[in-house]
Amino acid sequence: MSLTENQIPKGILSPNTAYKIRTRYKGQNYGWSEWEEVNVTTRENFSPGPGSLTYDDTTKTGYYGHTTAAELITGDALASQIGLTAGTSQYSDAGWEKFFVGADADCNPDSVDKVLYIAKKSLRYDLSWDNINAANAVYGSQTITIGGNTYKVRLLRGAGSDPAPTYGTTCSDDPGANSEWNDLLYRIHTDIPNCSDPTIGMPGGNETSYHGGPQVGSNWNNYSDSDLQVYYSVAGNGTYCWCQETDASISSRRVFRGSHGVAYYVTHTSSFSNTYNGWRPCLELV
């Protein structure tokens, strides 16, 4: 048998690292050949966007930084690829925030290391959760290939469980605990939500009855309400971001995050749609 290539399993090599590869040939008649050596350096990063990671060993999560739409994909191209036509396009070139979620992270129910790209802004508005689900883009059953990499297309987890706590919660109820919204998006917003002053992260009010809970860990970035499009007064359409979870008390409702601020938490009927409703997709590298 002629062996012309050998694929190294994922997770063995590190990016931007020099390696020496040694090979030799075992012939049928004369045994082993002399060793041959070649020096190689892996590319700076194995996935699009920045390769330098700011890692939090306590939460087992980390942040790489901003990935441009040119490096990954535009909102319009993504919607086209998955067949999502509902709603109105906006901020197609806003780009993506790149995160690492370790296998042991609280916001990771799958127990495998992950690289996630979360849209910096809502890429479409005026569409329902049902519209997104019809495109198989809620739970990750839809996949796409970009530049040789495969990604699951899904919504963020906005609550700590599914079914999720019902709407009408306080900060101390902490309905967003261990969610991707709290553990990742909170930490790149300039505010640091906490229960001693629940107005932080809630400029739109309702902090005493619709709060998603406090932040765990320090900030990795300091985006504003407008930068992350989480407060309707300064960010406009699509600031209510649909998430995956079903309301535990009312099965027709799904979790919303944002609009009144990064800490806001509420649920609404899955078929509901108006200009405040937004699609903020998450691309999970497979």
In a domain, 65, yes or no: yes
Domain-embedded: residue 122: yes
Residue-wise burial string across 97-134, b where 16 or more C-beta atoms lie within 10 A, e elsewhere? bbbbbbeebbbbeeeeebbbbbbbbbbbbbbbbbbbbe
Of 243, 8, 14, the closest CA to residue 137 belongs to 243
* Residue 115: half-sphere exposure toward Cβ, Cα within 13 Å: 20
Q: What was the pLDDT predicted at 65?
A: 98
Q: Is the pLDDT of residue 6 over 70?
A: no
Q: Tokens 């495969």 — which residue?
A: 150
Query: pTM of the full predicted structure?
Result: 0.88
> For residue 38, is it within any domain?
no
Give yes or no for a contact between 214 and 202, defined as CB atoms under 8 angstroms apart: no
Q: Which pLDDT score is estimated for 15?
A: 62
Q: What are the pLDDT digits (tens) for 60-111? A: 999 999 999 999 999 999 999 999 999 999 999 999 999 999 999 999 999 9
Q: Predicted confidence band at 11 (pLDDT cuts at 50, 70, 90)? A: very low
Q: Is residue 37 part of a domain?
A: no
45 found inside a domain? no
What is the residue type of 134? A
Question: 56: closest CA among 107, 12, 11?
Answer: 107
Beta bridge partners of 240: 277
pLDDT tens profile 162-180: 999 998 899 999 999 999 9
What span, in angstroms and rounded, lies between the C-alpha atoms of 127 and 66? 26
Q: How far apart are CA 214 and CA 126, in angstroms?
A: 29
Q: Are 154 and 140 in contact (CB under 8 A)?
A: yes
Q: Which of 40-49, 122-131, 132-141, 252-261 has the lowest mean pLDDT?
A: 40-49
Q: Where does 10-106 have alpha helices with state H?
A: 75-82
Identify the pLDDT of residue 33: 79
Q: What's residue 13's pLDDT? A: 61
Q: How many domains does the chain have?
A: 1
Q: Is residue 89 part of a domain?
A: yes
Domain that holds residue 169: 54-285
Q: What is the pLDDT of residue 20?
A: 78
pLDDT at 281 over 90: yes
